[in-house]
Structure 1
Amino acid sequence: MGLAGDLHLHFLRRLINERDRKNGGLCLLYITATGTRRTEQPWDVVIIGSGAAALASALSAIESTTPPPRVLLVDKCPESWAGGNGYFTAGAYRTQHNGLDDILPVVSNVPEDIVNKIDLPAYTHADFQGDLDRVTGNRSDKKLGSYLVGESLDTVKWLKGHGVDWWLSFRRQAYQVEGRWVFWGGLHLTVKDGGKGLIKNMTDAVKKSGCTIMHDTAATKLLTNDKRAVCGVEVQREGKTYQLKVPSVIMCAGGFEANPELRKKYLGPGWELAHTRGTPYNTGDMLAAALVLGAKTVGDFSPTGCHSVAWDANSPKDGGDREKTNEFTKSGYPLGLMLNSEGNRFVDEGIDLRNYTYAKFGRAILEQPGGIAFQIWDKDGQGWLRDEEYREEIVKKIKADSIEELAQKCCEDGMRDSSSFVQTVQEYNAAVASHRQENPDAKLNPAIKDGLSTQSSKKKLELAKSNWALPIVKPPFLAVKVTSGITFTFGGLAINPENAAVLREDGSEIEGLHCAGEMVGGLFYGNYPGGSGLTAGGVFGRRAGRAAGERAQRSQRMERL
């Protein structure tokens, strides 16, 4: 039927349910295709994208006014790729809270007999803000950060009210220590079925609310009036170009992480080699469209300006796997070692809890010869690996009964120097043994920075392993080949956090244009606290939707005058 027919049918259905809305109250917009065909178009808010931030924007917009605005989501991807990058995540949201009493009312997966066996410390506003400042080198925009942190728990509760099935993250963010579930890293909430479950919960809520989602519909240009306000968006569908004139547009179209050319341009040479973890449709189109209007860019556009992780070297290069999603992540390095193809370590695998290192270690891997590395463990270390990332069905495992044999087998898969590999492991084991001799009472505790290291008065490695330094001595030994998987880019558009309006270079707002999700710049530099990206999409998507809906209502009132 095409876009015009789809919209017309939707309009008729809505008209039946909204008899009290007179013609004078309708926002009369037009779709112009090849020729002179016109049809009445009832949308008040157009949202570009179908990921978590876009869905949050839609839910917020629809509840912003009475009667509710008419909301349309468009996404250039086919429906089979719906959900943006959120679909490929573990569905984890970082939020401030005062401990288990704040969390229990939100989650659905904690039996009563487990409650008294859970150690979940408070994660306060100061803790969240402190982590955001610390991991970004104190470069994160303080005003943006204050909104993100301050509204995080309320946003989580709001999403629960819209059907998001929160779970306490036993699997990813807790270890069983002496019979108790010990949570760590400030990241305690996830969703049943991870990103798949998150997108399903939110999409179901959006459809139930009366919003409409149209896929295979690519936004290509932002339309403006003589006052330089955005008044619509140009889209392409089925080979035709249409103009949707609408009072409010919200861009939630992601960064440019799926565009190798833009990665090379902004992040630098070598980044075109990274694997795209998530959707292949985040290619920076709407970022470019906003720049045409004079939008201000902020944030990290340097080689450190992205979230990238240790990623299965045998994964698809140009987009994620819709079934395996986040399972290509290889985050077991804190309890093992990572060696580059020259057989040398290149990061302190235990410098901090995984939640504060995984988003930057992908860059470190990409910087190594060939952009690859090998993660290794002995029998004891393998016991801590999560099945979802390291089970036989998900990863190619290199196994051996000695370190020498492991090195030789790795040479068959990209390792260049087996002798350096063996020497590195031997020196590491000697340093671990020396530390244990001086600290006989030290115990492994993966839920805290336990101080089990390679540094002692008798022996120190030039590159320390600061925590969780388990010896690699018990066969069988295991290696896994990894590369860099890019998740999202940190550089983006400047917004007013109060209403998520996009700003111009002079600091003024581009009227009618809002932005949320990965397109927002200024929050993250070089690194980010795990789970804070999804939370930011919820916080600013909620504000964008509310502001866009209210602006649409004001526009209708002006038309009636």
Structure 2
Amino acid sequence: MADEKFLTYDVVVVGAGNAALCAGISAKENGSKVLILEKGPIQKRGGNSFFTDGAIRTAYRDLEELREVLPGITDEEAARIYMPVYNEEDYYNDLMRVTEGKSDPQLAKQLVSQSMKVIKWLYENGVIFELNENQSFEKDGKTHFWGGLPLKTKNKGVGLVAQLNERVAELGIDVWYESRAIKLEMENHQVTAIQIEQPEGIVTVRTGSVILACGGFEANQTMRSEHLGSQWDAAIVRGSEYNTGDGLKIALEAGAQAYGDWSGCHSIGTDLNAPKVGDFTKPGDIFKKSSFPLGLIFNNEGNRFVDEGADFRNYTYAKYGREVLKQPGHMAYQIFDAQVHPMLRKEYFLEEATFFKADSLEQLADLIKIDKEQFLQTIEAYNQAVQEGDYNPTVKDGKGTKGITPPKSNWALRMDQGPFYAFPVTCGITFTFGGVHVNPTGEVLDKEGAPISGLYAAGEMVGGLFYENYPGGSGLMSGAVFGKFAGASASRYVRGKTKDIVNQ
């Protein structure tokens, strides 16, 4: 149990992923005494952030602005890069487009307008960035980036968590492991303390403010069934086993307003044989399968069921996981031929990847559990429907199909060059979209829309940003933006409260 003399803090942060660590660093920078609580042991710290591939979406003017956080890029290297502009308007429009206009405009504008400022703040605090090669293709001697996601953290989420923890240690912030927040104590509608469950018993920490940043309920099977539907029992949990909705429960008990898409989540097609929960010995998002726009997706009845080329994978992969979950056996096959196989993302070539290879489609069908006759008929109909045109995976090339349902709207090549590859996938849930209502500075709002004094939230706990879908890389960016602002707001609140006491 923690020593009694350390049981008073200005700011207590619940969680130890990207959002929580950003909140803790921000609060410390603003002069507060900070405690960070991690539910898991030290070897399993980092929440879902640990399992990401590190891609982080930000608005930017041009390559030169990105080079401010990518100092290793030489002028010669820069001359060989084609970097499309992705400004605040582009980011905002993408967010609104994929959420069908449902994203809370205030929160969306805060995320977008602060994204690059917070990227630079992260860089100043020791986070190392690099170009996201998975978002590029070579063409005419240049590297062409696409999809508005050219930036990632070095060594993926593992590196991000390590770098943020190094900064936490440098700043002298206390971190308690195996410490689960279970209840807020309130007086006159203000946070006064937090109860923490540790292996030795319950500890109560007196505090002026609490920042809840401990994830959604994706690892809680009961809550998944209740809010998402019974079929979600079959989903693989891609990230932390500790994201079981504790923070949401604490916030709602304190009077917070539930907000956002509680029936929606980020889910993707992931390797059929991926671990049932995130394996901390195999981090870095190595099991996902996101090159489907280059190929075709079949259920085991031999039918296609989505438009693989509807948009860049950044804007469809987070919703296609649930489409896989709806299929017989909660699984599907991603099929590719020799034309596109060299262009698949790196995770397809890892030793952990499950795949089948055959010289013909007939042989491939014999290797996998699929209705062979229907599979071959579907491919024949698709091949006949492919239209002529210039194939270009760096843009939405409009090279699609005609006369079949579902169509393939872009990047449609005939599936006719062996060898052929089949990657079996199932649904992997990443994080849930439902959360609590916060204002742009991270204050948690009650059911009347008023701030709950001393209570803040960040990361997956922020409801109202994502509905049914999201633009890839926005989760890490949201965590950093709202974490930074929640930390600063909480520190400001505590300073003001102290002044009020002094002036009484």
Q: Same fold (TM over 0.5)?
A: yes
| Matched residue type, 1:41 | L
- Work out whether residues 185 and 355 of structure 1, in 8 Å CA contact, stay in contact via their aligned partners in 2: yes
> What's the counterpart of residue 396 of structure 2?
449
Pairing of 1:8-87 with structure 2 (within 5 A):
39=5, 41-64=7-30, 68-87=31-50
Structure 2 unaligned segments of length 5 or more: list them.
Answer: none
Pairing of 1:356-375 with structure 2 (within 5 A):
356-375=315-334
- Work out whether residues 108 and 166 of structure 1, in 8 Å CA contact, stay in contact via their aligned partners in 2: no
Distance 2:353 2:63 in 1: 35
Distance 1:321 1:59 in 2: 24
Calculate the aligned-residue CA RMSD, in Å.
1.3
2:243 matched to 1:285? no
Residue in structure 2 matching 1:155, options 102, 115, 118: 118
3-state SS, counterpart of residue 117 of structure 2: helix
Deviation at 1:112, TM superposition (A): 2.6
Deviation at 1:40, TM superposition (A): 5.5
> What's the counterpart of residue 422 of structure 1?
376
- Work out whether residues 381 and 470 of structure 1, in 8 Å CA contact, stay in contact via their aligned partners in 2: no
| Matched residue type, 1:43 | Y
2:348 matched to 1:390? yes
Residue in structure 1 matching 2:143, options 176, 181, 192: 181
1:171-226 CA deviation, whole Å, 9 max, x = no partner?
Answer: 2111111211111111111011111111111111111111111110110111111x
Distance 1:213 1:86 in 2: 17
Residue in structure 2 matching 1:120, options 73, 80, 83: 83
Question: CA separation of 1:352/1:40 partners in 2, compared to 1, >3 Å: closer, same or farther?
Answer: closer
Residue in structure 2 matching 1:503, options 416, 422, 445: 445
Question: CA separation of 1:536/1:41 partners in 2, compared to 1, >3 Å: closer, same or farther?
Answer: same
- Work out whether residues 88 and 322 of structure 1, in 8 Å CA contact, stay in contact via their aligned partners in 2: no
Residue in structure 2 matching 1:489, options 432, 436, 452: 432
- Work out whether residues 107 and 166 of structure 1, in 8 Å CA contact, stay in contact via their aligned partners in 2: yes
- Work out whether residues 8 and 205 of structure 2, in 8 Å CA contact, stay in contact via their aligned partners in 1: no
- Work out whether residues 400 and 406 of structure 1, in 8 Å CA contact, stay in contact via their aligned partners in 2: yes
Residue in structure 1 matching 2:490, options 548, 555, 558: 548
TM-score w.r.t. the length of structure 1 is: 0.88
| Matched residue type, 2:413 | L
Please list every run of at least 4 consecutive aligned residues from structure 1 whose deviation after the TM superposition is greater than 6 angstroms. Answer: none
Distance 1:274 1:257 in 2: 10
Aligned pairs, number: 503
| Matched residue type, 2:458 | A
| Matched residue type, 2:351 | E
> What's the counterpart of residue 338 of structure 2?
379
Residue in structure 2 matching 1:202, options 164, 182, 191: 164
Distance 2:220 2:74 in 1: 45
TM-score w.r.t. the length of structure 2 is: 0.98
- Work out whether residues 272 and 354 of structure 2, in 8 Å CA contact, stay in contact via their aligned partners in 1: no
- Work out whether residues 51 and 278 of structure 2, in 8 Å CA contact, stay in contact via their aligned partners in 1: no
Question: CA separation of 1:63/1:39 partners in 2, compared to 1, >3 Å: closer, same or farther?
Answer: closer
- Work out whether residues 280 and 320 of structure 1, in 8 Å CA contact, stay in contact via their aligned partners in 2: no
Residue in structure 2 matching 1:257, options 218, 223, 227: 218
1:515-543 CA deviation, whole Å, 9 max, x = no partner?
Answer: 00000000000100111111111111111
> What's the counterpart of residue 464 of structure 1?
407
Deviation at 1:443, TM superposition (A): 2.1
Pairing of 1:174-253 with structure 2 (within 5 A):
174-225=136-187, 227-253=188-214
Distance 1:87 1:98 in 2: 29
2:306 matched to 1:347? yes
Distance 1:511 1:84 in 2: 26
Deviation at 1:425, TM superposition (A): 1.3
Distance 1:325 1:261 in 2: 27
Structure with higher Rg: it is 1
Deviation at 1:293, TM superposition (A): 1.7
3-state SS, counterpart of residue 351 of structure 1: coil
Distance 1:333 1:109 in 2: 32
2:235 matched to 1:274? yes
> What's the counterpart of residue 524 of structure 1?
466
Distance 2:366 2:222 in 1: 36
| Matched residue type, 2:171 | S
1:454-476 CA deviation, whole Å, 9 max, x = no partner?
Answer: 12xxxx21211011112211111
| Matched residue type, 2:18 | A
| Matched residue type, 1:314 | N
Distance 1:496 1:333 in 2: 37
Question: CA separation of 1:102/1:373 partners in 2, compared to 1, >3 Å: closer, same or farther?
Answer: same
Deviation at 1:559, TM superposition (A): 4.1
Distance 2:62 2:350 in 1: 37
3-state SS, counterpart of residue 381 of structure 2: helix
> What's the counterpart of residue 331 of structure 1?
290
- Work out whether residues 357 and 527 of structure 1, in 8 Å CA contact, stay in contact via their aligned partners in 2: yes
Question: CA separation of 1:57/1:405 partners in 2, compared to 1, >3 Å: closer, same or farther?
Answer: same
Distance 1:357 1:120 in 2: 22
